[in-house]
Structure 1
Amino acid sequence: MSDATAEKHVFQAEIQQLLDLVVHSLYTDREIFLRELISNASDAMEKLRHVEATEKDVHDAGLPLQVEIIADKEAGTLTIQDHGIGMTHDELVENLGTIAHSGTKAFLQAMKDSGKSPETMIGQFGVGFYSAFMVADEVKVFTRSWRKDGEGLVWTSDGTSGYEIEPAEGVARGTKIVLKLKEDQKEYAEEYRVKHLVETYSNFVGFPVMIDGKRVNEVEALWLKNKSEISDDEYKEFYKFQAKAFDEPQYRLHFSADAPLEINALVFVPSENPENMGFGKVDPGVALYCKKVLIDPEPKGLLPDWMRFLKGVIDSADLPLNISRETMQDSALVRKIGTVISKRVLKMFDKEADADPEKWRAFYKKFDRFFKEGVATDFANKEALAKLLRFETSMTEAGEVAGLKDYLSRAKDGQEEIYYIVGNSRDQIEASPYLEAFKTRGLEVIYFTDAVDEYVADSLAEFDGKKLRSITKGGVDLDDAEVEGEALSEEETTALCEFLKTEFGDKVTKVGAGKRLVDSPVVALVPEDAMTPQMRQMMKAMDENFSDEVKVELEINPRHELIKRLASAKDDNADLAKMVAGQLLDNALMAAGLLEDARDTVRRMNELMAKALG
């Protein structure tokens, strides 16, 4: 540049400080620079559209509104050009050399006063342009204003002490930025690398982005279109593009909101669960955008972790972003956006589950772990999630499932509890003595057969004001029921219970007659605060030294023939009675999943068989 024609300027002190921050400490990923420059170009063309609506005399009115990028590997340069509003001489000085519009001074003062790092303090200051100096030794900005009397200018700087402005011939309306790349940043002069950056960050910019004459961003930002204008096939293709998926979406949620926040969202629910395919825990799949520009492809903490299987886009113009658009400055606002989306998704699931129960059951079977995880971890949405759970019960056929709303619709008048039992399978549960009293009384029992179901029941605790209660634990209060068979007298029952308590000692906390049993002689009940066998097994698998001795309450059935004979044998043949009593206790512990050492059980059983054979 000729000293005779160049107009030299020194950067204001604040701009110098800002440049140092941008180049050396603000951005964590240098490739963000291209997103910033494309966004600026898009903004300039949006402004031109507004100008064209009110002004007649616009220079070069026929120029196309598109972003043109040229990667020159031999020259080591990258050029980004738009035909937007352009800049006058004063606007060049004001926008690129001073703090007039950027808010930089306010930022620097706030950072100084707070003592915080730039990453946490920078807000919307419109200074993304300076990110170019992270990758360039020299930046040239060719520009011409939209006004008829505008002039062609070139702004040049190495990003250190200052800049120069001089007239330039043949400059079209808009702005052309030419980056002379640093030696270690020459990768950005490779066409394939630049194309990847556009596809990653700027694919949905509202204007065509051309690289060496070819359009790159051909997929529309469907989330900003009216639903009535989009076909099912377009939705499916967008899902496959955005999620990099091969399946088709099972459900979708497309909505816009203006209050309390401006949000445009398009969220898809996959039809296949990748975590069931051995891929491990997946990352969040709903990307965050601001005005069609990608902010974070996998935003942590935006949605509850259990929603990580969702795919799609959330776009909010209300986001106060930091200068690099890499993190959200106002986490409270981000949480508010996440809350709005979460509630919308749950409402959509509830509606779909009611509209087509069979489709929901098929989907739930593949994705049930996510919903169960949500019940245990997402307190704010626990009640809504509970409505979506499905399980087999004592009143459903094998393989058929029901929800908690279905359960309550069939509950007995005055029933204040939701009964459940945890087991390894339906067959195992239905062979246990715990169900007898409930089936006799027509009380429905939920079957929890998944390893995590116990966590779900403990986390949920209640639904619609009804407490969830395990039927294997003490404290269940049942009404009297008509049961066939003559029972021991109250005196005989008391005497037998005292005999058994003496025989078992501290192995049991109590022996008594109850209302649970119909066909079985005894049942072992665990305290309400005790771990279930499934939980104990899990804890033992994690810690071989884990020990948790459970003291059970033994309930006997005074109508059972074996119990009546035992009552007589305790007086007539005490040794045999003690052996039978020990076997009954072990049988009850076995049914409860609490018998860990069966050696004595086998030895005693052999002795009893020998006695039975004389």
Structure 2
Amino acid sequence: MTAAAHETHEFRTEVQKLLHIITHSLYTNREIFLRELVSNASDALDKLRFFQSRGDAVTAPDLPLDITITVDKDARILRIADTGVGMTRQELIDNLGTIARSGSERFMTEHGLNNGAKAEGSDTVEAAEGEAASPSAPGAPTDAASIIGRFGVGFYSVFMVADKVRVTSRSCQPGAIAHVWESDGSGSFSVAEVEAEGDAHAPARGTVIEAHIKEDAAEFLERHRLEAIVRTHSNFLPFPIMVEGERVNTTPALWREPKFSVTPQQYEDFYKYLTFDSGAPLETIHVSVDAPVQFTALMFVPPRGQELFGMGRDRWGLDLYVRRVLIQRENKDLLPEYLSFVKGVVDTEDLPLNISRETLQENVVIRKIGQTVTKQVLGHLEKLSASDADRYAEFWRGHGKVFKLGHTDWANREKFAGLLRCNTSHHDDAKGLSSLDDYIGRAREGQKDIWYISAPNREAARLNPHLEIFRKKGLEVLFLYEPIDEFVMDALGSYKDFALKAVEHADAATLDAFPTVEERKEPEPLAESDSPAFDALLARMKELLGDKVTEVRVSHRLSDSPACLVSPDGSVTSSMEKLLKVMQRDETIPKKVLEVNRDHPILRNLLRIHKADPADPMVESATLQLFEASLLLEGYLADPHALVGRLYGLLEQAGGWYAEVKKL
């Protein structure tokens, strides 16, 4: 090539306008420019390796494939150099003189590496630094598919921090001459030939970018700042990245490696690097997917969860990479919130972007990846629950509270329901856990319902009056201890032909169909002649309670307790009703039905007193005591002073009667 004179060219597009958009709109923070330039350098090295792999002759074949970043603080120059394919004079004009021209895209097309699969919108954001006229050779291998650049815009992000940019490049073609491209980004650029002895920074092969840093961007002349940017955005690129002579990217991209070649220790080390945890992960999920979208993912389940509403609760999501280049940390579209305990990375080949890596262009691709990742995680948990119940129980105790948020994931409803765990009346203590399938396996013959009860703890659940008939009939009940649990049950509604029902809504006729399994001494039935008298007692109790209750009636669910409160319409459980009232800031006490156990000694004695004298003060005192004690069990008694005062009075009377009976 004959020596070319210094030439000045106008940009082929409305550069001033486009550069303004690029430098002020597309990128939300200026450090992104270094990610773009390093990615372009990686492109150039990928292309050179592609040519070498098929036996093409290249200039300076013994040069190492690396990227170097150096700083001249006095001259305020930042240099990014690579030993990749470089560019000819015409390629400098074509690729750096036109916004949105991507040599990487053209490279992929010319060598048949697109396979027509990316036509849906495969524009990622790389500059044209690595654009090269390739030595021609048939039968190109496909390992150049890792080339990132496809849209030729990222290079111009350098003008966010530089007022002048000088690009010196020598093509990998044997005998190529170096040329320099220079511009201040205002509307024109110049290209000139560089004699071998005329520029100390002319590369033997590849490209050197010299960015003359603006006064307000001096931070990008600091070594520690450059190292931090590389580690954040480009840490997993396959080529060494040297900052002031020291390699920065030393952590391998394990997710790109075949699973069989990665050791447990490597997984543990990467987990610690990613999460800053001091221990090993509970579970490791390493997947490679080709359809419906192509991606690899390396995910971990930590041994411990974080508080549902604690500090850092919003810090979740998978790190999103495109061909080893970080696009976004903690992307929340790749996993639903109920799997937010999962930590890891996703690296895709198919992600369409607009002309900034920071703004995703085609959310449909992200949705497809997210759907697939979710299924992969749930599938792994299913295998774990089937193969190692103790390890799954450890997972549940660490992450069960967050996992329950999945009750709104209709697409994975059956998988979600199968992974739920609850303590039940079947267990000996509060540590026991059962799945819904375990419950169904223990169900009584003819049972078509899964029963549950909400309570703050196991003891409260066991002592709840509504549980008495289930204990009597030998029917297992799920114990729900968390406020979200009832929302989960309501959302599911049923599981494998079994309806999920609260014990409060149990139908007496349905339960009577099951034989009694609890042996106990039954009280003498109420005499037929006493039935009208008991009805009169119920009427008197309703009169005394007034509009505090909607009705006082005989209970068919109680065996040990004297009374309980029941919702009149049976539509909402008491615990759900309390939650709704808290959400609505409603402090009123709901009007309910008071059910009484007419076989209980308290009611039999009260009947005797009422028959003797309906106006006896003991009838009123006992009625109020039963009502307020039931309110207390339901969690609605705001002021217990009257209850306690009345209780002391009854104890005083009972103590006197006891002393008289015992003749003390």
Normalising to structure 2: TM-score of the pair? 0.83
* Aligned residue among 185, 190, 195 for 1:164: 190
Question: Residue 341 in 1 paired to residue 373 in 2?
Answer: yes
Question: Residue 32 in 1 paired to residue 32 in 2?
Answer: yes
**1:119-158 equivalent positions in 2, closer than 5 A:** 125-158=151-184
Letter of the 1:478 partner, please give it: L
Letter of the 1:85 partner, please give it: V
Q: Alignment RMSD, CA only?
A: 2.8
**1:423-438 equivalent positions in 2, closer than 5 A:** 423-438=455-470
Find the residue that maps to 2:647 and give its secondary structure. Answer: helix
Deviation at 1:475, TM superposition (A): 4.7
* Aligned residue among 635, 639, 663 for 1:593: 635
CA, structure 1 residues 598+530, in 2 after alignment: closer, same or farther (shift >3 Å)? farther
- Report what 1:313 is aligned to: 345
CA, structure 1 residues 466+506, in 2 after alignment: closer, same or farther (shift >3 Å)? farther
1:64-84 C-alpha deviation (Å, 9 max, x unpaired): 111111122222111111111
- Report what 1:478 is aligned to: 511
- Report what 2:52 is aligned to: 52
Contact 1:15-1:97 at 8 Å conserved across structures:
no
For 1:469 and 1:321, locate their aligned partners in 2 and report how far apart those are by CA, in whole Å: 48
- Report what 2:135 is aligned to: none
- Report what 2:534 is aligned to: 496
For 2:41 and 2:459, locate their aligned partners in 1 and report how far apart those are by CA, in whole Å: 66
Letter of the 1:424 partner, please give it: P
For 1:201 and 1:418, locate their aligned partners in 2 and report how far apart those are by CA, in whole Å: 50
Contact 2:533-2:611 at 8 Å conserved across structures:
no
Contact 1:500-1:581 at 8 Å conserved across structures:
no
Contact 2:292-2:368 at 8 Å conserved across structures:
no
CA, structure 1 residues 490+198, in 2 after alignment: closer, same or farther (shift >3 Å)? farther
Letter of the 1:156 partner, please give it: E
For 1:452 and 1:280, locate their aligned partners in 2 and report how far apart those are by CA, in whole Å: 21
- Report what 1:388 is aligned to: 419
Deviation at 1:124, TM superposition (A): 5.6
Question: Residue 582 in 1 paired to residue 620 in 2?
Answer: no
For 1:194 and 1:185, locate their aligned partners in 2 and report how far apart those are by CA, in whole Å: 12
- Report what 2:553 is aligned to: 512
Normalising to structure 1: TM-score of the pair? 0.90
Letter of the 2:550 partner, please give it: T
Deviation at 1:424, TM superposition (A): 1.7
1:196-255 C-alpha deviation (Å, 9 max, x unpaired): 111000000111111122211111111010011000000011111122322211101101
**1:345-424 equivalent positions in 2, closer than 5 A:** 345-375=377-407, 377-398=408-429, 399-424=431-456
Question: Residue 19 in 1 paired to residue 19 in 2?
Answer: yes
For 1:328 and 1:531, locate their aligned partners in 2 and report how far apart those are by CA, in whole Å: 44
Range with bigger deviation, 422-431 or 339-348? 422-431
For 1:280 and 1:491, locate their aligned partners in 2 and report how far apart those are by CA, in whole Å: 68
- Report what 1:219 is aligned to: 251
Contact 1:243-1:285 at 8 Å conserved across structures:
no
Deviation at 1:341, TM superposition (A): 0.6
Letter of the 1:128 partner, please give it: G
**1:291-306 equivalent positions in 2, closer than 5 A:** 291-306=323-338
Letter of the 1:155 partner, please give it: W
For 2:267 and 2:411, locate their aligned partners in 1 and report how far apart those are by CA, in whole Å: 30
CA, structure 1 residues 538+33, in 2 after alignment: closer, same or farther (shift >3 Å)? same
For 1:508 and 1:343, locate their aligned partners in 2 and report how far apart those are by CA, in whole Å: 49
CA, structure 1 residues 169+549, in 2 after alignment: closer, same or farther (shift >3 Å)? same
Moved over 6 A (4+): none
Question: Residue 93 in 1 paired to residue 108 in 2?
Answer: no
For 2:152 and 2:274, locate their aligned partners in 1 and report how far apart those are by CA, in whole Å: 28
CA, structure 1 residues 478+501, in 2 after alignment: closer, same or farther (shift >3 Å)? farther
Contact 1:124-1:321 at 8 Å conserved across structures:
no
* Aligned residue among 292, 301, 306 for 1:260: 292
For 1:304 and 1:278, locate their aligned partners in 2 and report how far apart those are by CA, in whole Å: 18
Deviation at 1:317, TM superposition (A): 1.1
For 1:435 and 1:30, locate their aligned partners in 2 and report how far apart those are by CA, in whole Å: 63
Identity of paired residues, percent?
40
Deviation at 1:432, TM superposition (A): 2.5
- Report what 2:79 is aligned to: 79
Deviation at 1:259, TM superposition (A): 0.8
- Report what 2:661 is aligned to: none
Find the residue that maps to 2:227 and give its secondary structure. Answer: helix
* Structure 2: stretches of 5+ with no match in the other structure: 104-123, 128-148, 197-202, 658-664
Deviation at 1:362, TM superposition (A): 2.1
Letter of the 1:136 partner, please give it: A
Range with bigger deviation, 382-391 or 477-486? 477-486
For 2:596 and 2:299, locate their aligned partners in 1 and report how far apart those are by CA, in whole Å: 56
1:108-140 C-alpha deviation (Å, 9 max, x unpaired): xxxxxxxxxxx99x9962221111111111111
Contact 1:570-1:578 at 8 Å conserved across structures:
no
Range with bigger deviation, 573-582 or 601-610? 601-610
For 2:489 and 2:274, locate their aligned partners in 1 and report how far apart those are by CA, in whole Å: 36
- Report what 1:273 is aligned to: 305
Deviation at 1:489, TM superposition (A): 4.8
1:488-510 C-alpha deviation (Å, 9 max, x unpaired): 25674465245314432433333
Letter of the 2:90 partner, please give it: D
Contact 1:256-1:265 at 8 Å conserved across structures:
yes
Letter of the 1:395 partner, please give it: H
Letter of the 1:466 partner, please give it: F
For 2:533 and 2:72, locate their aligned partners in 1 and report how far apart those are by CA, in whole Å: 99
Letter of the 1:88 partner, please give it: T
Find the residue that maps to 2:252 and give its secondary structure. Answer: coil
Find the residue that maps to 2:512 and give its secondary structure. Answer: coil
For 2:48 and 2:347, locate their aligned partners in 1 and report how far apart those are by CA, in whole Å: 23
**1:517-596 equivalent positions in 2, closer than 5 A:** 517-527=558-568, 528-530=570-572, 532-533=574-575, 536=578, 539-540=581-582, 546-574=586-614, 575=616, 576-596=618-638
- Report what 1:115 is aligned to: none
For 1:491 and 1:346, locate their aligned partners in 2 and report how far apart those are by CA, in whole Å: 63
For 1:124 and 1:524, locate their aligned partners in 2 and report how far apart those are by CA, in whole Å: 69
CA, structure 1 residues 538+137, in 2 after alignment: closer, same or farther (shift >3 Å)? same
For 1:264 and 1:17, locate their aligned partners in 2 and report how far apart those are by CA, in whole Å: 38
Deviation at 1:37, TM superposition (A): 0.8
Deviation at 1:55, TM superposition (A): 4.5
Deviation at 1:99, TM superposition (A): 5.5
- Report what 1:439 is aligned to: 471
1:175-202 C-alpha deviation (Å, 9 max, x unpaired): 1111111111121121111111110000
Deviation at 1:564, TM superposition (A): 3.1
- Report what 2:278 is aligned to: 246
